Amino acid sequence: MKNKLNLVSSMLAVVALSSALHAFEPKKPVCLAPAKPGGGFDLTCRLVTNSIMEAKLIDKPMIVNFMPGGVGAVAYNHVIGVRSSDPEIMVAASAGSALNIAQGKFGDHDESAVRWLAGLGTDYGAVIVRADAKWNTLQELLVDLKANPKGFALGSGGSIGSQDWFKAALIAKAAGINPKDMKYVAFEGGGEALTALLGGHIQIYPGDIAEFSGQFDSGKYKVLAVLSDERLPGKFKDIPTAKEQGSDVVWNIWRGFYLAPNITDEQYNYWVETINKLVNTEAFVKERELRGLFPFTKVGKDFDVFVKSEVEKFKIMAQDAGLTKW
Q: Is the pLDDT of residue 16 over 50?
A: no
Q: pLDDT grade, residue 15 (50/70/90)?
A: very low
Q: Is the pLDDT of residue 31 over 70?
A: yes
Q: Is the pLDDT of residue 325 over 60?
A: no
pLDDT per position as a tens digit, 48-76 = 999 999 999 999 999 999 998 887 899 99
Please tell me the distance from the alpha carbon of residue 122 to that of residue 288, in angstroms, as a whole number: 9
Please tell me the distance from the alpha carbon of residue 170 to that of residue 205, in angstroms, as a whole number: 13
**CA 160 vs CA 184, 186, 219: distances in Å:** 9, 8, 30
Q: Is the pLDDT of residue 139 over 90?
A: yes
HSE on the CB side for 188, CA within 13 Å? Answer: 4
Q: What DSSP state is assigned to residue 34? A: S
Instruction: Enumerate domains of the chain plus CATH numbers.
Output: 28-122+253-320 (3.40.190.150), 123-252 (3.40.190.10)
The more confident residue out of 186 and 2 is 186
Q: Is 6 buried (19+), middle (13-18) or exposed (0-12) by CB count in 10 A? A: exposed
Q: Is the pLDDT of residue 113 over 60?
A: yes
Residue pair 51/284 in contact (Cβ under 8 Å)? The answer is: yes
Mean pLDDT of 2-11: 53
Q: Is 245 helix (H, G, I), strand (E, B) or coil?
A: helix
pLDDT for residue 26: 93
Q: Is the pLDDT of residue 190 over 80?
A: no
**CA 93 vs CA 45, 73, 243, 286: distances in Å:** 9, 11, 27, 21
Which pairing describes strands 30-33 and 205-208: parallel, antiparallel, or unpaired? unpaired
The more confident residue out of 219 and 298 is 298
Q: pLDDT grade, residue 3 (50/70/90)?
A: low
Q: Is the pLDDT of residue 318 over 50?
A: yes
Backbone angle region of 86, left / alpha / beta, with phi > 0 → left and psi within -120 to 50 → alpha:
beta
Q: pLDDT grade, residue 17 (50/70/90)?
A: very low
Which pairing describes strands 183-186 and 205-208: parallel, antiparallel, or unpaired? unpaired
pLDDT for residue 7: 53
**CA 28 vs CA 58, 64, 325: distances in Å:** 10, 11, 38
Q: pLDDT grade, residue 244 (50/70/90)?
A: very high
Model pTM score: 0.79
Please tell me the distance from the alpha carbon of residue 164 to that of residue 211, in angstroms, as a whole number: 12
Q: What is the overall mean pLDDT for the chain?
A: 89
Which pairing describes strands 115-130 and 221-226: parallel, antiparallel, or unpaired? antiparallel
pLDDT for residue 19: 44
Q: Give the containing element (helix H, strand E) for 9.
A: helix 2-21
Q: Catalogue the E-assigned strands of the chain.
A: 30-33, 63-66, 89-94, 115-130, 153-156, 183-186, 205-208, 221-226, 252-259, 298-299
**259-268 burial by CB neighbour count: b if 16+ within 10 A, else e?**
bbeebeeebb
Range in 223-227, 301-305, 314-318 with the lowest mean pLDDT:
314-318
The more confident residue out of 66 and 156 is 66
Q: Give the containing element (helix H, strand E) for 167.
A: helix 163-174
Q: pLDDT grade, residue 326 (50/70/90)?
A: very low
Mean pLDDT of 254-282: 97
